[in-house]
Structure 1
């Protein structure tokens, strides 16, 4: 009997050890928690619910043709000073029968990384006919349309336009629909309820340069309407993009954040 007991122990102990290893290896891996925004970040809608939001990068209607990584909710997040500055711009425009409309606000670094990966895939050109008809995709970095860092990730930069009131609804983009150049006549471009700025949003073309001399008349006046209203409240335009503005006194001039665009990212 002692020999049998010894033999059973020799069998049971390795089996117990194997079971413990199996249970341990099957234990769920704890995911790293998502980063949170500093307390200085807010949802624009909480500061000014009257500003129209048409957040493009959570939809496939953008130059990549797919929703962009990091956009979880269709919402504009900004630093509080930037949001309050837009609120002051909006107050002035509302008195004149207009409203701001934002296309993009804070942009996580992972979204910028997604742009970079897309730019490196030279076969992904399904949106070329609308957003960059005359630009070879191999030139997007050299020409400055795509970069590894974006001021949007600092939280005080936004892409926006001006909409006449009452604001007409805009139809959603239907993936696979025929595309038209972003610099064509307004009636031929993808429909947008904004004033005619000479090009659509995110148009990779020199006609999108704010002061391009070929943009004249009403289109130039509309760009100046936006620029004057924004500059009066401390925002600076990126000359290559009529829609792109940054708060001059941005609170995080050297920090690029990567928390997702989601209400849960906000700490307040």
Structure 2
């Protein structure tokens, strides 16, 4: 047992050392290395997102969070797995460079490549005012995560009533536009995340931030790679 403990500590230290070599802040880790059974679908590293192309500073589809947020997320994953489900991550730490890319995108009103899919009822110019995009994102502080739930057996996402990053009332927690099953699925995610120290964002059912985040005033800008 003692040897296994030493091995675990060695592997953890090795993981952290490798992460630092890739430019991570010392208090950040790769989610998948700490929670191997979690699923990743990092949308901003590809084109399936609201700007329709890879976002600046997302060089690889990996998820990064602060150590403490990752520990809390692991507890949430463990709780959910006892009920036959698993977490899927869409986004975690987000560099300020990526946020700046969103700002630049918003300045071009004719660039509406994904409007029908992600914001069909909202004018692009209103996305900032309505709180869907911000010039400073909680994600850049390293303890905010966008996620959903999948069935462990099928890998299928639970029906939450709207897709990830859909900008509209139907994505709000208090919406009356979803059915009982969709509401129950959202409440399951909310219950698990609240239990493990995360708080929700009223406008987006997928968005949760660690309550006692270690860097509440710091916006980081190292790349996702």
Q: TM-score, normalised by structure 2?
A: 0.88
Which residue of structure 2 lines up, in the alignment, with residue 88 of structure 1? 75
- Structure 2 distance, partners of 1:214, 1:146, is 22
Question: Quick check: 1:210 aligned with 2:173?
Answer: yes
- Structure 2 distance, partners of 1:141, 1:94, is 36
Larger-gyration structure (1/2): 1
Aligned positions of 1:256-267 closer than 5 A:
256-262=219-225
Which residue of structure 1 lines up, in the alignment, with residue 194 of structure 2? 231
Question: Quick check: 1:195 aligned with 2:158?
Answer: yes
- Structure 2 distance, partners of 1:76, 1:216, is 31
What is the Cα deviation at residue 117 of structure 1? 0.5
SS in 2 for 1:101: strand
Tell me if the contact between 1:119 and 1:146 (Cα under 8 Å) persists in the aligned partners. Answer: no
Question: Quick check: 1:116 aligned with 2:103?
Answer: yes
SS in 2 for 1:92: helix
- Post-superposition Cα deviations, 1:124-144, rounded to whole Å, max 9, x if no partner, equal 101001000000111112111
What is the Cα deviation at residue 147 of structure 1? 1.3
- Structure 2 distance, partners of 1:249, 1:98, is 26
Task: Say which of 110, 114, 131 aligns to 2:118.
Answer: 131
SS in 2 for 1:102: strand
- Post-superposition Cα deviations, 1:29-73, rounded to whole Å, max 9, x if no partner, equal xxxxxx933211000011101010000001011000100001011
What is the Cα deviation at residue 203 of structure 1? 0.5
- Structure 2 distance, partners of 1:223, 1:85, is 19
Moved runs in structure 1, 4+ residues, more than 3 A?
none
SS in 2 for 1:39: coil
- Post-superposition Cα deviations, 1:168-201, rounded to whole Å, max 9, x if no partner, equal 3xxxxxxxxxxxxxxxxxxxxxxxx310001000
SS in 2 for 1:149: coil
Which residue of structure 2 lines up, in the alignment, with residue 15 of structure 1? none
Tell me if the contact between 1:55 and 1:103 (Cα under 8 Å) persists in the aligned partners. Answer: yes
Could you say if the C-alpha distance between residues 203 and 260 of structure 1 is closer, same or farther in structure 2, counting changes exceeding 3 Å? same
- Structure 1 distance, partners of 2:186, 2:106, is 29
Which residue of structure 1 lines up, in the alignment, with residue 134 of structure 2? 147
- Structure 1 distance, partners of 2:78, 2:32, is 14
- Structure 1 distance, partners of 2:129, 2:26, is 36
The total of aligned residue pairs comes to: 205
Task: Say which of 89, 95, 98 aligns to 1:102.
Answer: 89
- Structure 2 distance, partners of 1:143, 1:196, is 25
The CA RMSD over aligned residues, in Å, is 1.3
Tell me if the contact between 1:237 and 1:245 (Cα under 8 Å) persists in the aligned partners. Answer: yes
Could you say if the C-alpha distance between residues 167 and 105 of structure 1 is closer, same or farther in structure 2, counting changes exceeding 3 Å? farther
- Structure 2 distance, partners of 1:117, 1:245, is 25
What is the Cα deviation at residue 214 of structure 1? 2.7
Which residue of structure 1 lines up, in the alignment, with residue 46 of structure 2? 59
What is the Cα deviation at residue 231 of structure 1? 0.3
